[in-house]
């Protein structure tokens, strides 16, 4: 198998309320509803940087082990296309926000990263009848124009399409965990994949959305390049597109047709300085890195539970519990509690069940007051109807009392007959026997229960 | 005669207006009530067409108003119309556009540019005008038309709503008949704006040293008759106890070249948005096979020759392979120019030069000039504009009946000193 070199440039949409350079909302809307002078590029408009976007980008870079550039510059990348409202994109060129990081993928490979920078998204082109090749006209939706992107570039160190897919999955997992990207949004990550084989030039495949498609595109492109080499052709520098229908890559433009973007420093924006106060605020607001949280929890519970606790947002809740048996606790939190949460679409565990309630429930199970089977039923009701544990324990106590009373009567048949014959004292005797054995019951309640049960026996 | 009538008269006589409203809007009450102004046509006023001197923006009506103009309106000012200009600011004589304004002192001569319409309007009507300078576009027409032209520190006035020429160089300023009026209007517009990330709070003003430098390098590049007039103005300053010394400024020429390289590079990106897709002219899109062919046709038809020249040069200067040699180098020269000025300001309150190398040329003389000869006319204004320094052109006499201006330059955010020195030249007998 010949060696291949793969590098990926991934654009992730940062999860902010408003766009990168204007106050338009990022939430989905009717086409062109979320536009203004700035993202439409009207003459006289000027960009202003969204601080939240910078914060999220800084958090992403930090989580990826990158070095932050305390001063970075925005740049204009000029080219002509209908989806670019100013016919230039504000991006970062010479001096990006962060450089040199790494991502460990599944504990097997480490993917080193070249850089991370901020840039705005162009508008969306919509083909009402088919695609670019056959639609009679195209429509432009500028809602996407100006959306905040972080571009993450890997070194060309990936060795297979499968590794590329694994990297993207690990990247997605990490960034959604941090809250840097919105995991519910299908289009939150777009990738340009670069591939070269020995003796050939690098080919770029642009704008692939799904991770599976990235793997397939690279595979298809590898075959194309290998075949070309075998036929004695040169593999030339090109930009291509991946077609899902044919599972092949198609030529978009050759290196001669490559545009010169004529980068200049963006003169409407001062340099982006990350000062001490800003960094402190940003990094302290960051969630604990997942690998660190997982490692910490692995001291108490097996790794697979630790992973679930971390990535399902259960770790802080787990750690605030007073249940002493952590494995037992993890089984319940990652099992029945999580099931209930998923059933009801609740993301935050304390909104599903107060941790004190869970502790009380588990304590009742460990002390034998209730069976595990009963507890599995109770937890569902506690989450669904927000019923407190006391409700079940007193009801339980009622049922429990029945059993215990029956026990006492069974053990003392003589006293039962005597009572039935009219001897009141025998009831007190039976009560005494009961209270000797079992704590936590109201004597009057038990007396009534004894009476009632004996009456039933009589019948 | 009311303000609107006067404006119409000015336009009839001098071709200085691009747009005049049917009637003047009701004035809000405030410190500027009764102030009627004209606005250069690269500043957006909601509801009034704006084309920045270019055919490509014909029919465009901005949906918002420039911050600086809005601030004036909020204080009671009223806009009497938009003034003609060189296309996007590209020009020193205001001839690079369809409607060319005439000098109020001689109809066969130019007004100067690119804020030529503003200067002609102010000279004729006496009313002030909001104008703009990138490389000298307030100073040149102010000098040629005999009015006060004030260009503040870069970043002092918000550029939100200014149709860009070169974002790191554009400054919004004022044309007026007196120094007092000019500064009054400036301070009414000035101040940080959250919509323009390049605005900033001014530094504190420094005390006057009462020493002024006459920049010989620039002085010597101007006509002898101009030098004579400006020398008289320098004499007036000396008579008031200000020490005037001579000082060289060897970076005058490099400053001018660096200005042009940077301005054209930035302009070539700013003008990229004009492509007949979202606003402006849309000449028969159905006649084009592809988008590329369409927008190329729009731009070929919509831009004038000078605009095209600057687009080509500006794009070239930032192309891979040439970027380091031109764009980046010009940026480095800019730093050196600023440093050179800062050294002078350690000793001097202000620097003086003639505003322009000559009086307003005739239109037929201009026709014979090469593009480079046009650019060379900015020799006095290039360097201070490149450095973003505040400066003013004050009328100081005539040569053969035509106005001459003295350029006064001060350090960043030292507009008070500028105002003081300007008044000393304007009114020598206080």
Q: What is the torsion angle, in degrees rounded to the nearest 10, for the CA atoms of residue A433, residue A436, residue A440 and residue A445?
A: 20
* Contact residues on chain B for A268, CB-CB shorter than 8 A: 167, 196-198
Of chain A, the percentage scoring pLDDT greater than 70 comes to 98
Contact B161 A44 (CB under 8 A): yes
- B59 contacts B283 by C-beta, under 8 angstroms: no
A389-411 and A443-458 helices, crossing angle to 10°: 60
Banded model confidence at residue A184, pLDDT cuts 50, 70, 90:
confident
Average pLDDT, chain A: 91
Cα A111 → chain centroid: 21
Residue window 265-284, chain B: list those with CB within 8 Å of chain A.
265-266, 268-269, 272-273, 275, 277-279
pLDDT score of A226 more than 90:
yes
Catalytic status, residue B284: no
Q: How many Å apart are CA A323 and CA A320, to the nearest integer?
A: 9
Give how many domains chain B has, as a whole number: 1
Q: How many Å apart are CA A271 and CA A261, to the nearest integer?
A: 20
Q: How many Å apart are CA B38 and CA A164, to the nearest integer?
A: 61
Of chain B, the percentage scoring pLDDT greater than 70 comes to 99
- Chain A contact for B142, CB < 8 A? no
Nearest CB partner across the interface for B272, out of A48, A80, A270: A80
- Chain A contact for B299, CB < 8 A? no
- The set of residues, in sequence order, having a beta carbon less than 8 Å from that of B155 and lying 6+ positions away, is B198, B199, B200, B388
Q: How many CB atoms lie within 10 A of CB A112?
A: 14
Provide the total of helices (H) and of strands (E) in chain B, helices listed first: 15, 13
Q: How many Å apart are CA B294 and CA B273, to the nearest integer?
A: 14
Among the ranges given (A55-59, A290-294, A314-318, B216-220), the one the predictor scored with the smallest mean pLDDT: A290-294
Task: Write down the pLDDT at residue A291.
Answer: 83
CA distance B218 to chain A (A): 28
Residue window 270-329, chain A: list those with CB within 8 Å of chain B.
270
Domains in chain A with CATH codes: 5-278 (no CATH), 288-387 (no CATH), 394-458 (1.10.10)
> What phi and psi values does residue B349 have, to the nearest 5 degrees?
-65, -45
Task: Write down the pLDDT at residue B430.
Answer: 33
Q: How many Å apart are CA B395 and CA B159, to the nearest integer?
A: 27
Task: Write down the pLDDT at residue A378.
Answer: 87
- Of B85, B86, B47, nearest in space to B66 by CA: B47
Q: How many Å apart are CA B93 and CA B111, to the nearest integer?
A: 6
Q: Which residue has the higher pLDDT, A78 or A434?
A: A78
Among the ranges given (A243-247, A287-291, A352-356, B379-383), the one the predictor scored with the smallest mean pLDDT: A287-291
Range(s) of the domain holding residue B401 = 1-430
**What are A104's strand-pairing partners?**
A110
Banded model confidence at residue B176, pLDDT cuts 50, 70, 90:
very high
CA distance A208 to chain B (A): 24
pLDDT score of A186 more than 80:
no
Q: How many CB atoms lie within 10 A of CB A40?
A: 21
Q: Does an H or E element contain A456, and which?
A: helix A443-458
Q: How many CB atoms lie within 10 A of CB B98?
A: 13
Banded model confidence at residue B44, pLDDT cuts 50, 70, 90:
very high
Q: How many Å apart are CA A434 and CA A243, to the nearest integer?
A: 79
> What phi and psi values does residue B403 have, to the nearest 5 degrees?
-65, 150
Average pLDDT on A195-220 reads: 95
The one catalytic residue in B114, B355, B393, B419 is B114
* Contact residues on chain B for A42, CB-CB shorter than 8 A: 62-64, 278-279
Average pLDDT on A1-11 reads: 88
- Chain A contact for B225, CB < 8 A? no
Nearest CB partner across the interface for B64, out of A37, A86, A264: A37
- The set of residues, in sequence order, having a beta carbon less than 8 Å from that of B364 and lying 6+ positions away, is B108
- Of A57, A46, A48, A59, nearest in space to A18 by CA: A48
Residue A433 structure tokens? 């026997």
Closest-CA residue in chain B for A83?
Answer: B277
Residue recorded with tokens 């949906």? B63
- Chain B contact for A125, CB < 8 A? no
- Chain B contact for A43, CB < 8 A? yes
ipTM of the complex: 0.96
Nearest CB partner across the interface for B62, out of A44, A82, A260: A44
- B303 contacts B295 by C-beta, under 8 angstroms: no
- Chain A contact for B168, CB < 8 A? yes
- Chain A contact for B426, CB < 8 A? no
* Contact residues on chain A for B166, CB-CB shorter than 8 A: 267
- The set of residues, in sequence order, having a beta carbon less than 8 Å from that of B169 and lying 6+ positions away, is B134, B135, B154, B259, B262, B263, B266, B385, B386, B388
Task: Write down the pLDDT at residue A294.
Answer: 87
Map residue A302 onto helix, strand or coil.
Answer: coil
* Contact residues on chain A for B268, CB-CB shorter than 8 A: 78, 262
Contact A48 B63 (CB under 8 A): no
* Contact residues on chain B for A80, CB-CB shorter than 8 A: 272, 275, 292, 295
Cα A306 → chain centroid: 15
Nearest CB partner across the interface for B273, out of A87, A265, A268: A87
Nearest CB partner across the interface for B275, out of A47, A78, A80: A80
- The set of residues, in sequence order, having a beta carbon less than 8 Å from that of A367 and lying 6+ positions away, is none
Q: How many CB atoms lie within 10 A of CB B374?
A: 18
Average pLDDT on B369-389 reads: 97
* Contact residues on chain A for B291, CB-CB shorter than 8 A: 81-82
Chain A with chain B: Cβ pairs closer than 8 A: 95
Residue A56 structure tokens? 């999220």
- B131 contacts B149 by C-beta, under 8 angstroms: yes
Nearest CB partner across the interface for A267, out of B167, B194, B273: B167
Q: How many Å apart are CA A450 and CA A427, to the nearest integer?
A: 8
Average pLDDT, chain B: 96
pLDDT score of B380 more than 70:
yes
pLDDT score of A205 more than 90:
yes
The enclosing domain of B64 has a CATH number of 3.90.1300.10
- B419 contacts B209 by C-beta, under 8 angstroms: no
Map residue A357 onto helix, strand or coil.
Answer: helix
Is the backbone peptide bond immediately before B114 cis, with ω within 30 degrees of 0?
yes
Task: Write down the pLDDT at residue A222.
Answer: 96
Enter the pTM of the model: 0.85
Contact A88 B194 (CB under 8 A): no
Catalytic status, residue B265: no
- A206 contacts A146 by C-beta, under 8 angstroms: no
**Burial tier of A410 (Cβ tally within 10 Å: 0-12, 13-18, 19+):** exposed
Task: Write down the pLDDT at residue A442.
Answer: 73
Contact B64 A44 (CB under 8 A): yes
Q: How many Å apart are CA A235 and CA A223, to the nearest integer?
A: 12
- The set of residues, in sequence order, having a beta carbon less than 8 Å from that of A238 and lying 6+ positions away, is A201, A203, A204, A251, A252, A253, A254, A255
Among the ranges given (A53-62, A170-179, A246-255, B352-361), the one the predictor scored with the smallest mean pLDDT: A246-255
- The set of residues, in sequence order, having a beta carbon less than 8 Å from that of B413 and lying 6+ positions away, is B153, B156, B202, B203, B205, B390
**Burial tier of B109 (Cβ tally within 10 Å: 0-12, 13-18, 19+):** buried
Task: Write down the pLDDT at residue A125.
Answer: 94
* Contact residues on chain B for A45, CB-CB shorter than 8 A: 160
Task: Write down the pLDDT at residue A166.
Answer: 96
Contact B66 A44 (CB under 8 A): yes
Average pLDDT on B401-414 reads: 97
Closest-CA residue in chain A for B322?
Answer: A262
Task: Write down the pLDDT at residue B429.
Answer: 40
Task: Write down the pLDDT at residue A256.
Answer: 74
- A15 contacts A150 by C-beta, under 8 angstroms: no
Query: Around B30, how many Cα atoms within 13 Å sit in the side-chain half-sphere?
Result: 16
- Of B12, B14, B43, nearest in space to B123 by CA: B14
pLDDT score of B305 more than 90:
yes
Q: How many Å apart are CA B94 and CA B120, to the nearest integer?
A: 11
- The set of residues, in sequence order, having a beta carbon less than 8 Å from that of B186 and lying 6+ positions away, is B150, B152, B156, B157, B173, B174, B415
Q: How many Å apart are CA B341 and CA B414, to the nearest integer?
A: 13
Structure confidence by residue, pLDDT tens digits, B95-117 = 999 999 999 999 999 999 999 99
Catalytic status, residue B40: yes
- A49 contacts A79 by C-beta, under 8 angstroms: no
CA distance B311 to chain A (A): 12
Structure confidence by residue, pLDDT tens digits, A85-144 = 999 999 999 999 999 999 999 888 999 999 999 999 999 999 998 877 788 899 999 999
Of chain A, the percentage scoring pLDDT greater than 90 comes to 66
- Of A75, A35, A37, A121, nearest in space to B167 by CA: A75
- A196 contacts A228 by C-beta, under 8 angstroms: no
Residue A295 structure tokens? 């490692």
* Contact residues on chain B for A49, CB-CB shorter than 8 A: 197
Closest-CA residue in chain B for A261?
Answer: B319
Closest-CA residue in chain B for A82?
Answer: B277
pLDDT score of A350 more than 50:
yes
End-to-end Cα spacing for chain A: 86
- B340 contacts B411 by C-beta, under 8 angstroms: no
The one catalytic residue in B118, B129, B133, B137 is B137
Structure confidence by residue, pLDDT tens digits, B117-138 = 999 999 999 999 999 999 999 9
Q: Does an H or E element contain A393, and which?
A: helix A389-411
Q: What's the Cα-to-Cα distance from B255 to each of A172, B330, B378, rounded to whole Å?
A: 50, 9, 10
Task: Write down the pLDDT at residue A399.
Answer: 65
Contact B272 A88 (CB under 8 A): yes
Q: Is the dihedral of CA A427, A432, A438, A442 positive or negative?
A: positive
* Contact residues on chain B for A82, CB-CB shorter than 8 A: 277, 291
**A-interface mutation test, from B49, B278, B312, most A Cβ less than 10 A away:** B278
> What phi and psi values does residue A133 have, to the nearest 5 degrees?
-75, -35
Closest-CA residue in chain B for A85?
Answer: B273
């Amino acid at each position: 198998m010949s060696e291949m070199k793969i590098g990926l440039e991934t654009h992730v949409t940062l999860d902010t309320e408003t766009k990168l350079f204007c106050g338009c909302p990022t939430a989905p809307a009717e086409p062109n509803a979320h536009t203004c002078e700035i993202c439409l590029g009207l003459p006289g408009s000027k960009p202003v940087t969204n601080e939240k976007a910078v914060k999220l980008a800084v958090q992403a870079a930090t989580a990826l082990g990158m070095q932050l550039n305390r001063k970075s510059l925005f740049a204009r990348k000029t080219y002509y296309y209908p989806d670019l409202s100013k016919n230039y994109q504000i991006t970062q060129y010479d001096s990006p926000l962060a450089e040199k990081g790494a991502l460990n993928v599944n504990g097997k490979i480490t993917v080193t990263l070249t850089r991370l920078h901020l840039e705005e998204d162009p508008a969306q082109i919509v083909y009402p009848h088919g695609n670019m090749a056959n639609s009679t006209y195209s429509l432009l939706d500028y809602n996407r124009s100006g959306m905040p992107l972080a571009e993450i570039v890997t070194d060309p160190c990936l060795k297979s399409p499968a590794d590329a897919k694994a990297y993207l999955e690990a990247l997605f997992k990490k960034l959604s965990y941090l809250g840097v990207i919105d995991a519910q949004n299908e289009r939150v990550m777009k990738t340009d994949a670069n591939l070269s084989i020995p003796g050939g030039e690098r080919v770029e495949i642009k704008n692939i959305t799904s991770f599976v498609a990235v793997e397939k595109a690279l595979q298809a492109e590898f075959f194309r390049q290998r075949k070309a080499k075998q036929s004695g052709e040169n593999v030339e520098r090109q930009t291509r597109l991946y077609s899902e229908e044919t599972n092949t890559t198609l030529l978009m433009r050759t290196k001669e047709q490559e545009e010169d973007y004529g980068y200049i420093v963006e003169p409407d924006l001062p340099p982006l300085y990350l000062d001490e106060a800003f960094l402190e605020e940003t990094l302290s607001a960051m969630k604990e890195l997942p690998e660190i949280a997982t490692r910490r929890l692995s001291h108490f519970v097996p790794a697979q539970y630790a992973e679930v606790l971390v990535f399902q947002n259960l770790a802080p809740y787990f750690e605030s519990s007073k249940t002493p048996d952590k494995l037992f606790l993890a089984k319940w939190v990652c099992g029945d509690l999580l099931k209930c949460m998923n059933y009801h679409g609740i993301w935050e565990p304390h909104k599903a069940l107060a941790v004190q309630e869970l502790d009380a429930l588990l304590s009742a199970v460990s002390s034998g007051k209730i069976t595990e089977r009963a507890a599995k039923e109770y937890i569902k009701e506690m989450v669904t109807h927000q019923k407190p544990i006391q409700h079940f324990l007193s009801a339980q106590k009622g049922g429990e009392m029945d059993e215990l009373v029956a026990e006492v009567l069974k053990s003392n048949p003589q006293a039962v007959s005597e009572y039935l014959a009219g001897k009141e004292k025998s009831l007190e005797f039976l009560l005494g026997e009961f209270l000797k054995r079992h704590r936590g019951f109201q004597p009057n309640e038990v007396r009534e229960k004894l009476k009632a049960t004996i009456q039933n026996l009589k019948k | 005669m009311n303000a609107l009538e006067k404006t119409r008269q000015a336009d009839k006589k001098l071709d200085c207006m691009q747009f005049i409203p049917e009637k003047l809007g009701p004035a809000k009450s405030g410190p500027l009530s009764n102030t009627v102004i004209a606005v250069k046509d690269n500043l957006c006023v909601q509801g009034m067409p704006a084309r920045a001197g270019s055919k490509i923006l014909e029919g465009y009506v901005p949906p918002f108003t420039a911050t600086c103009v809005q601030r004036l309106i909020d204080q009671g000012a009223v806009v009497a119309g938009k003034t003609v200009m060189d296309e996007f600011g590209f020009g020193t004589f205001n001839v690079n556009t369809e409607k060319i304004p005439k000098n109020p002192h001689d109809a066969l001569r130019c007004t100067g540019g690119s804020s030529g319409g503003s200067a002609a309007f102010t000279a004729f009507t006496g009313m002030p005008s909001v104008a703009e300078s990138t490389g000298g576009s307030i100073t040149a027409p102010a000098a040629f038309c005999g009015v006060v032209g004030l260009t503040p520190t870069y970043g002092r006035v918000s550029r939100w709503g200014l149709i860009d020429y070169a974002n790191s160089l554009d400054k919004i300023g004022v044309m007026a008949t007196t120094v007092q009026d000019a500064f009054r209007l400036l301070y009414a517009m000035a101040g940080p704006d959250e919509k323009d990330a390049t605005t900033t709070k001014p530094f504190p003003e420094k005390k006057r040293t009462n020493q002024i430098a006459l920049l010989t390098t620039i002085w010597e590049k101007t006509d002898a008759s101009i030098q004579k007039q400006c020398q008289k103005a320098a004499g007036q300053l000396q008579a008031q106890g200000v020490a005037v010394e001579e000082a060289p400024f060897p970076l005058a020429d490099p400053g001018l070249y660096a200005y042009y390289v940077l301005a054209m590079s930035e302009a070539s990106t700013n003008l990229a948005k004009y492509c007949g897709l979202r606003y402006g002219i849309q000449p028969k899109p159905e006649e084009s096979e592809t988008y590329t062919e369409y927008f190329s046709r729009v731009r070929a038809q919509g831009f004038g020759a000078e605009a095209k020249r600057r687009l080509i040069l500006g794009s070239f200067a930032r192309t891979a392979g040439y970027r380091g040699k031109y764009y980046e180098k010009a940026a480095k020269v800019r730093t050196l120019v600023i440093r050179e000025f800062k050294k002078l300001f350690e000793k001097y309150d202000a620097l003086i030069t003639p505003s322009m190398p000559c009086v307003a040329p005739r239109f037929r003389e201009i026709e014979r000039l090469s593009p480079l000869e046009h650019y060379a006319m900015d020799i006095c204004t290039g360097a201070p504009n490149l450095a973003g320094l505040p400066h003013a052109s004050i009328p100081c006499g005539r040569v053969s009946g035509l106005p001459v201006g003295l350029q006064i330059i001060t350090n960043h955010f030292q507009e008070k000193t500028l105002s003081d020195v300007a008044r000393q030249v304007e009114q020598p007998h206080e």
